[in-house]
Structure 1
Amino acid sequence: MKKYIITPILALLFIGCSTTDDVNLDDHAFYNTTQESLLTYAQKELSDYMNTPSVNENNFRLTMQYWTETIYVNESNYDFTNRTVSNNVWTDNYVNVLKNLDQAERIINAYAPTPSEIASWPAKKKNQLAIVDMLKVYTYQVLVDTYGDIPYSQALNIDLYPLPKYDKASEIYSSLITKLTDDINNLSATGGTFGNGDIYYKGDIAKWRKFGNSLLLKLGISLADVNPTLAQNTVNKAITGGVITSSGDNCQFQYLEASPNENPMFQETSSRDDFIAGKTLVDYMNANSDPRISAYYTDVDGDYIGQVIGTPGEFADFSNAGEFAYTATTPGIILSYTEVSFYRAEAAARWGIGGSPAALYSDAITSSFNDWGLASDAAAYIAAHPYNAANWKKSIGEQAWVAMYNQAITSWNFYRRLDYPQLVAPSTAIPNAEGKVPVRLQYPTAEATTNGSNYAAASAAIGGDKLTTKIFWDIN
């Protein structure tokens, strides 16, 4: 059985920390390692965060009303403080992903090639640095889209900045677009990479280039309402450069059968009956005769039944997640062709970029059906649910919500940008939600207590550290 060798976390820290507390460094961490093993570790940690349904870390399957909980329904009702969820999200991304990528970058820059490597090292170095930085860009976008203003320019230099400032989210986006453009330009098909240390693409530069352009497309689309000029320029550049064109280009982590390398969904679902189908999506799919429901959920005596969001329910009385969630080797998705296809449909609908919006809408839905092994059912479904140019946000928003069922964090972005589907918060939701589905996470309590001045400044700058404070690009 193939096994991954995973490097220990390099630094166990919150980005904001007390200058008197020695929490910046882990005494047990292993610092003498290679850039390849650090990349492997960071890729797995990123995939684990994006794909886990753990209520301690990633609750977006609940927020997007795909699932609800059976007994302990706190998170279905948007209580994310009971388990200090935000602290874990912060650590997952800053420590487990970004800090390890940063250390890989340092090792690459410090590496002294052997005489036999001198000629080939410059191109390989540029490729390695570009790939590491693209994953940094991806992770920083996730953090901005989750919180708004975040530590960025000072975030990973704990020696100089133990209490980092928070940068403006809009400025971070501009920086990410510039950095990503440079990363794509620095990729060279003739240079080496990380070999098998790269679990996502095994060093395939052509696929990394498509990933980079697809991520550029994602960044550009996010800015569509708040900075349409930069958005269109970025989207044009991405599509011209060449984005993901098939599911064979998907960026994903291939999990294994054996512990500890199973899909984190399997790790959560195989031993506990914590989740059941959410009524919102089940009812929508039933009403629209969507064949994908048989892959998304199990049936109850031939029917698909979802529970009211935020209300406890017996596991056996409601549909459960489909077989994919109980399979150890289900890949962890980072960026998919289906996702990219919906961005292209949106770009065409907004600005006439890249083709016919109706055709690209059909491509996106067809790709989703292909993902679930239901290719032969796609055409009939599209015919029954055609693209509506008069209300393209509803067409694309609702269909992206259904298609992003296994990419809940991505689904949350579509929902906030397009305002579809029109989700309704449960009546049992916590008062802090103000009767609404959350549009951001609150900053970690650890930041408020250890990096208080910068936390307070950031909270004021974004309009309050609340679940209802919109991210800068969410202006509609």
Structure 2
Amino acid sequence: MKKNNIYRAVTACTFASAVLFSMPSCTDGFHEANRPGTGASAEDLNRDNYMTSSFIVQMENEAFPEQENTYQMNQDLIGNYLSRYMTYANNGFAEKNFARLNAPNGWVRYPFKDSMPKTVSAFKEIARVTNGQGLNYAWALILRAQSFMRLTDMYGPIPIGADPNDGNAYSSQEEVYKSLIADLNKATGIISPLVAANPDLTVSAEHDKVYQGKFAKWLKYANSLKLRIAIRIRFVAPALAKQLGEQAVQDGVITSNEDNCTIAYTPNGQYKTSVEWGDSRACADLECYLAGYNDPRLAKFFKPTEDVGPRTIIGCRAAAKIGNKATADKAYSAANINQNSEGVWLTASEMAFCRAEGALAGWSNMGGTAQSLYEEGVRLSFEQWGAGDATSYLADNTSTEADYVDPISEYGGNVSAVSNITIKWDNAATDDQKLERLATQKWIAMFPNGQEGWCEIRRTGYPKVFPLAQPTDYSIQVANRIPFDIDEATNNKDNYLKAVQLLNGADDYATKMWWQRR
């Protein structure tokens, strides 16, 4: 997208958000509406499905953003760049962006002013129509948990309506996470008996772009989201994480690629940003791990460059000083994706790596050892991408990350490898080496979901990444968070000041998430 189109999108959506915020707070009544639900009769479901279908679609569009503007602003510019999966090739982005830790406020505020009110307004309508009960309410709880988890992992504290007297008050990230766990437990409590009675239960298939109304799959997804949360918080809340993770696996997480969470939206968001607009290109970090490992997924993830360069597939360094978009587009590789490809948001491979880490942490009944589940994660990823057999790859105990050679030295420049971690599992390795090996392969396997890749870098410190190509005002190489909307300091001053206190640090890119390990 051209730069001026981004700002038009921001302006238009900000206006829409302003309309929403002129009503009572979009988070008012969050907990009041969140009362326990019960099973619904067929008559109730038919009535509720008709009335809630458009709101479910709206919630899916925010939970799994694929529409071009929504994808670019909520996913590509933030998570994809900070995960070191993609980076900008548009010289209009080169001075101020998230990779350089100085993004313009129009970018910073977009998820808060656009995605959050859309999610909450749709949820409130569903809660009203269903009276906070039944299958559709449970579905909405799952979708809100997915959306709010992404938002809190961007900003830290966010307003979730926990204060009955002030819907604009922020909750700490710890409080947000515990609320999401409660929501998912409530949702699975509603769905589980219905699916147990009817494993083929299908509702609103024509409106569900993810699982076509198959609630056995939504149940697995909700349990998988619990396991993702458990792993996220395991260093800061080990007892809660263990309990939640063990229960999630027992109840049933995604273990097969046929149950992966993908959404059909044409045109695919990454196709627009990378292929059609040419705003994003492969990041050097991901290219060099894949190239160094002789990983066949490299050609599955990215297209060959248009120009003849030192390699067929070439990434660009994060925070590069892009001088000309047309030149950068030809020199660096676009995503290997079609306009009708489905967006990928949670996979069996990720869940295998989560269970591997659970086993590494001493959790019970993960379904295998840390080694066997690590290897299963790699195999599932190879299967997902049609990359062939992973046996020889998993036996490789010598290959490491490659050095980076830039075809346009004045943009990013060359840089030596920063990691010597190999592929083959080593039970004699230290716990930290095991974590690095696991986290690096998990990071590779989660492509193209940059939000989760970014979370893994922050949570574990792995994979190790190249230094930024241009200096910033910070000593860190990857943002720990993005700042709050600057307008909050004026329009919601008292709550903003309390939110900064909840951060336990400054309102900047360096302050860490509650759940970060280091």
**If the length of structure 2 is used for normalisation, what is the TM-score?**
0.77
Task: Give the drift of 1:239.
Answer: 0.5
- CA distance 1:102–1:16, change in 2 (3 Å): closer
- Percent identical among aligned pairs is 24
Deviation, 1:12, is 3.5
Structure 2 equivalent of residue 66 of structure 1: 85
Query: Quick check: 1:165–1:454 contact (8 Å CA) kept in 2?
Result: yes
Is the Cα contact below 8 Å between 2:101 and 2:479 reproduced in 1?
no
SS at match of 2:277: coil
1:251 aligns with 2:261: yes
Following superposition, the deviation at residue 394 of structure 1 comes to 0.6
For residue 412 of structure 1, what is the aligned residue in structure 2? 454
Asked whether 1:143 is paired with 2:162, we answer: no
Deviations 1:120-143, CA, capped at 9 Å, x for gaps: xxxxx5111111111111222212
> What SS does the aligned partner of 2:262 have?
strand
CA contact (8 A) 1:361 1:396 kept: yes
Q: Deviations over 1:290-318 (max 9, x none)?
A: 11111122224453222232221623553
CA-to-partner distance for each residue in 1:349-402, whole Å, 9 max, x for gaps?
1114312111111111111111211132x2211111212342211111111121
**What is the Cα deviation at residue 80 of structure 1?**
4.9
Asked whether 1:333 is paired with 2:338, we answer no
Match of 2:108 among 79, 86, 101: 86
1:400 aligns with 442
Q: Residues 39-81 of structure 1: CA distance to partner in whole angstroms, max 9, x if unpaired?
A: 0122123222699662576422211222222223232643453
Map 1:18-417 to 2 at 5 A. 34-48=51-65, 54=72, 58-59=76-77, 60-70=79-89, 71=91, 72-73=93-94, 74-75=96-97, 77-82=99-104, 84-109=106-131, 126-154=134-162, 161=166, 164-187=168-191, 188-189=194-195, 190=198, 193-256=203-266, 262-300=267-305, 301=308, 303-311=312-320, 312=322, 314-315=327-328, 317-324=330-337, 327-353=338-364, 354=366, 355-376=368-389, 378-384=390-396, 385-389=423-427, 390=429, 391-417=433-459
Conserved in 2, the CA contact under 8 Å of 1:297 and 1:320?
yes
Distance in 2, matches of 1:109 and 1:231, equals 31
Aligned residues: 432
Q: Secondary structure at the match of 2:236?
A: coil
Letter paired with 1:169: Q
- Runs (5+) with no aligned partner, structure 2: 1-12, 27-49, 397-422
Residue 442 of structure 1 is matched in structure 2 by 483
Checking the alignment, whether the CA contact within 8 Å between 2:278 and 2:334 is kept in structure 1 is no
Cα distance, 1:442 vs structure 2: 0.8
Q: Secondary structure at the match of 1:406?
A: coil
Offset of 1:289 from its aligned partner?
Answer: 1.0
* Counterpart-to-counterpart distance in 2, 1:450 and 1:235: 40
Alignment partners' CA distance in 2, 1:107 and 1:43: 18
Cα RMSD after superposing both structures: 2.9
| Structure 1: unaligned runs, 5 residues or longer | 1-8, 26-32, 111-124, 257-261
1:93 offset after TM fit, Å?
2.8
1:200 Cα offset (Å): 1.5
CA distance in 1, matches of 2:477, 2:501: 21
